[in-house]
């Protein structure tokens, strides 16, 4: 593999990892909000 092809491959892998990291952050954020809302609803259902 030539040096310029190696550099292009590394950039492609870096961009792919960045995209995956962004997707994971978004999904975890959404699941966290959903879980928080569910727990709050459950707690509000208990008598004080």
Domain contains 27: yes
Domain contains 7: no
Per residue in 4-47, pLDDT (tens digit) is 677 778 889 999 999 999 999 999 998 988 888 888 888 888 77
Residue numbers of the domain that contains 27 = 20-48
Number of folded domains that form the chain: 1
Domain contains 11: no
Name the residue with tokens 């959903």: 34
Domain contains 6: no
> Using CA atoms in the order 31, 32, 38, 42, what is the torsion angle rounded to 10 degrees?
150
Domain contains 10: no
pTM above 0.75, yes or no: no
Residues ≥6 apart with Cβ < 8 Å to 1: 9
């Amino acid at each position: 593999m030539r040096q310029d092809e190696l550099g292009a491959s590394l950039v492609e892998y870096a961009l792919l990892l960045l995209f995956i990291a962004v997707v994971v952050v978004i999904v975890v954020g959404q699941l966290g909000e959903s879980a928080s809302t569910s727990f709050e609803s459950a707690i509000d259902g208990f008598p004080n």
